[in-house]
Amino acid sequence: MKITSNKVAPAKYEVEVEVDSKLWKEAQEKSLDKEIAKVHIDGFRPGKAPKELAKKHVDPAKVLDGAINDSLNPVFREVLKETKLVPFTQPSVDVTKVSDTELTLKFIIITTPEVELGTYKGLNVEKEVPTVNEEEVEASIKKLVENNANLVLAERPSQKGDTVVIDFEGSVDGVPFDGGKAENYSLELGSNTFIPGFEDQLIGKSAEEEVEVKVTFPKQYVESLAGKDAIFKVKVHEVKEKVLPELDEELIKELNIEGVKTVDELKAHERARILEQKEQQAKGHALDAILDKIVEGSKIELPEEAVKERIHEMRHETESRLNQQGLDFKQYLDITGLTEEKWEEQVKGDAQKQVTASAVLSKIIESEKLTVTDEEVDAELNKMAEQYKMEVEKIREILKPQLASFKNDLLNRKLQEFLLENNLKK
């Protein structure tokens, strides 16, 4: 296999590969067998016809496509082995020559951006010293109590804070629209989960009452409904009010918090939890400030391909979050008034910042020779086993498919500890 690597820009390489003829022939044979298995010829069971006869019913282009796909992984492994390149992003590949006897591929490989580190130790960044006051503890306790409230039927008209169980169907100009209908839907009045004005019109209503709710959709909404007037026919089935439990040892027993058996212990637990949360936030802000200073003092050549890939990842992350909310990306664009191009422009700055930070951090890891040992992995697995009351080997088995990611998380944690230890103001 002939492999030729050329650096065409900072952190960007073109690698041309003349694929080994034996490997290429075997890939074609394998692809041909797959296509033959799909062929149906009268008088023969699928895949059982004589090979020479079945070949006449196979599309040669599909055979070549399948063979190329089967060749990519083994060829790319050989490329990385010979060139010693470490990809920073997903490589791209083009077929530059293909025939029954030849296959030539060209890979575009983006490596870690070249970084000339500035000062990354002794930056004297201040970290906030968090405190917790009584009001915060009381608010947290109040939230715990509210989260354990019971909903009971109220023999009165609804009030803000009540939950109503309703059927509803919405229409615009008399025509129902998708997503505008539900039955036995529980809605907390005052939660602001529905269109502005919807919940307010259900205050003061009683069970079995029918209501006509008139609203106007916001201008920043799904394109088909944005800015339009709508009427919802609503039937109230039940009105439920929250009944808060007493803050006593019976409630604390129901909360089932380890080591907490009294009201005083609950307050101490919540104080410690809030303090730990604030401490993590303070560390996060300090790390951001440290990284900003390091990046500002460093020099980096940032490949555009790396930024584009990060934007693609951000798009995928956004789509996943939207799917959990029952929306798709197009609906999100309609609601926000953005086009795909404007969205990409909007996130490009963050993508550049994230890619730059990642490259700088990788360079610090390399410079400081930070690693995660097998002993450190074992120690972390033992902690997890103790925390989840499981055998350590069971934890290891569960994490085995994600072990590389797990070790990377430990390495990032070690890097963060290094940056804090060497850059916080004493």
For residues 1-22, average pLDDT: 93
Q: Using the 8-state DSSP alphabet, how is residue 149 labeled?
A: P
Separation of alpha carbons 341 and 37, rounded Å: 44
Residue range 260-265: average pLDDT? Answer: 94
Q: What is the pLDDT of residue 52?
A: 67
pLDDT for residue 43: 64
Instruction: Give the pLDDT confidence score for residue 48 in this predicted structure.
Output: 64
Buried b (16+ CB within 10 A) or exposed e, 386-405: eeeeeeeeebbeebeeeeee
Instruction: Please return the burial class of 267, using the count of CB atoms within 10 Å of its CB with bins 0-12, 13-18 and 19+.
Output: middle
Helix (H, G, I), strand (E, B) or coil at 239: strand
Provide the token pair at 98.
């293909």
Q: What is the pLDDT of residue 406?
A: 93
- pLDDT recorded at residue 327: 85
Above 80 in pLDDT, residue 372? yes
Q: Which fold does the domain 150-243 belong to in CATH?
A: Chitinase A; domain 3 (3.10.50)
What percent of the chain clears pLDDT 90, i.e. is strictly above it? 79
pLDDT, tens only, 34-57: 888 777 776 666 666 677 666 777
What is residue 47's DSSP assignment?
T
364 phi and psi angles, rounded to 5 deg:
-65, -45
2-111 CATH choice from 3.40.640.10, 3.30.70.1050, 3.40.50.150, 3.30.565.10: 3.30.70.1050
Which of 52 and 252 is assigned the larger pLDDT? 252
* Confidence (pLDDT) at 45: 65
List residues bridging with 2 in a β-sheet. Answer: 18
Q: Give residue-wise pLDDT tens across range 139-164.
A: 999 999 999 999 999 999 999 999 99
12, pLDDT greater than 70? yes
The reported pLDDT for the residue numbered 91 is: 93
Q: Fold match between 2-111 and 150-243?
A: no
Average per-residue pLDDT for the chain: 92
Q: Sorting pLDDT into bands at 50, 70 and 90, what band is 192?
A: very high
For residue 58, pLDDT over 70 is answered with yes
Q: What is the CATH number of domain 295-423?
A: 1.10.3120.10
Task: Classify residue 87 by burial, with Cβ atoms within 10 Å: 0-12, 13-18, 19+.
Answer: middle
The helix (run of H) or strand (run of E) holding residue 214 is: strand 210-216
Radius of gyration of the chain (CA): 31
Q: Report pLDDT for 38.
A: 77
Name the pTM for this structure. 0.77
| Higher per-residue confidence, 75 vs 54 | 75
Q: Residue range 194-198: average pLDDT?
A: 94
DSSP 301: -
pLDDT grade for 79, boundaries at 50, 70 and 90: very high
At residue 74 the predicted structure's pLDDT band, cuts being 50, 70 and 90, is: very high
Among 360, 162, 315, smallest CA distance to 242 is for 162
pLDDT tens digits along 382-393: 999 998 889 999
Q: What is the mean pLDDT of residues 5-22?
A: 93
Mean pLDDT of 66-93: 93
Domain ranges (residues) in the chain: 2-111, 150-243, 295-423
CA–CA separation, 251 and 142 (whole Å): 12
